[in-house]
Amino acid sequence: MSGSELPKLARVAHAGHCNRCLSALPSSHIQIDASRLAIGFYCFGTLDLLGSIYEKTKEIEREGWREWLWHQQTNRPYGTDPEEYSEYDTPHLIMTYTAILSLAILRDDFEQLDRNGIVRFLQACQREDGSFTSFPNGGESDLRQVYCAFAISSMLDDWSGVDVDRAVSFIQQCSSHEGGYGQQPTGEALGGTTYCALASLYLAPSVSDLHAPNPHVTTDERRRTIRWLLQNQASSGGFSGRTNKDADACYCFWCGASLHILGVGDLVDRTAFLSYLASCQFKFGGIGKAPEDRPDPYHTYLSLAALALFPLEDADPSWKLPRLNALWNTTEDTADWIRQHVPLYTVKAQSPVRK
């Protein structure tokens, strides 16, 4: 099947799906209640990729969301020493990452960002072995949190919250003999954690040239990882998350973006890739993990992000998406906004401006 024979991308329907999810979710989704910020990000991200933030939402709604997001910024423990986080605060590393991205998509000016607080928070989350927990004093620790810590530091342009060497050492220990990276040392390679590992290693402050060999990835690791990632593309065009598992739309991003970061995106079979994601579109809007599955914002966003990384020349114009910043996982326009507003010191019109 050539690009021109593919169905269209149902842009309006997908924007509708995410807009509906922003208003309310049914009782079957009770279990993602504690991850609202992540769900918010997937919805805002989808609208951003579809270029419909301003079309499909009103300024009053966007103001409301920005306010809701800032309401989640926690910077004072309840009645305890202000220098220490207690478990009552429960700021969460992954939610912090998604909150910053969401605010950037909504074009917030970040005047309210507690940069020092976030740096202290990162320090409080890093463990002896270099990994990060979801929140200080507890929570699980694996490569997802390391990635979020690196992405946040990179967006802040402030790495004082992270012991980079220790974190890099932890990431390298997660490298699997199969290629790819597991959740923890000795873990099986997984698509999601492979993305987290690679994005982190390429975000690390010692890496300035994304096209030169990365000092934290050995030639052997790179070779194994490329081979493992490519083998995860099924004949349907979709990617699976690990050896002998079924294809799943979200891994089109996790694995596809990993290959993109390694500079070998050209080796992906793009037509099959697009054809698989096209078939995951749900007839009432949204994109599911596999054909016929119910959609959700997570799969919708990641499918579109994957498609943004692998444009197909002869595909219908409905498939045209903006350029994606693969390391932060947001559009390049939003990434520009972040660079101009998130760090404490930004360079604007040739002179540094303190925010």
* Residues binding another protein (CB under 8 A): 26-35, 78-79, 87-88, 90, 92, 134-135, 138-140, 176-178, 182-184, 186-188, 190, 223, 226, 230-231, 233-235, 237, 242-245, 248, 266-269, 272, 289-290, 292-294, 296, 298
Q: How far is the CB of 140 from another protein (least distance, A)?
A: 5
Nearer to another protein, 64 or 213 (CB): 213
CB-based contacts of 26-31 (< 8 A; 24+ apart in sequence): none
CA distances from 31 to 40, 102, 133 (A): 15, 21, 21
Do 123 and 133 contact (CB within 8 A), yes or no? no
Taking the complex as a whole, how short is the minimal distance between the CB of residue 71 and another protein, in angstroms? 14
DSSP state of 34: G
Q: Of 30 and 60, which CB lies nearer to another protein in the complex structure?
A: 30
**Alpha helices for the chain (secondary structure H):** 11-23, 36-49, 53-56, 59-71, 93-105, 115-125, 143-156, 164-173, 191-203, 219-231, 249-261, 270-279, 297-309, 332-341
The count of C-alpha atoms lying within 13 angstroms of the C-alpha of 211, restricted to the half-sphere facing its C-beta, is 0
Report which residue type is found at 256. Answer: G
Residue at 93: amino acid letter: L
41 phi and psi, to 5 degrees?
-60, -45
The distance of closest approach from Cβ of residue 108 to another protein in the complex, given in angstroms and rounded to an integer, is: 25
Q: Give the other-Cβ count within 10 Å of 115's Cβ.
A: 16
- The nearest distance, CB 337 to another protein, in angstroms, is 29
CB closer to another protein out of 127 and 294: 294
CB of 239 to another protein, least distance (A): 10
Cβ atoms within 10 Å of 245's Cβ, excluding its own: 14
In the complex, least distance from residue 91 CB atom to another protein, rounded to whole angstroms = 11
- Nearer residue to another protein within complex by CB, 83 or 292: 292
For tokens 């989808």, name the residue. 46
Nearer to another protein, 176 or 281 (CB): 176
For another protein, which is the closer residue by CB, 300 or 331?
Answer: 300
Could you give the count of Cα atoms lying within 13 Å of 298 in the half-sphere of its Cβ?
A: 15
Question: CB-based burial of residue 337 (10 Å sphere; 0-12 exposed, 13-18 middle, 19+ buried)?
Answer: buried
Cα separation, 163 vs 160, whole angstroms = 8
Buried b (16+ CB within 10 A) or exposed e, 177-205: ebbbbbbbeeeebbbbbbbbbbbbbbbbe
**Least Å distance between CB 276 and another protein?**
10
Of the two residues 176 and 331, which places its CB atom closer to another protein in the complex? 176
Comparison of 231 and 340: residue with beta carbon closer to another protein = 231
Q: Least CB distance from residue 297 to another protein, whole Å?
A: 9
Cβ nearer to another protein, comparing 35 with 123: 35
CB of 350 vs another protein, minimal distance in Å: 42
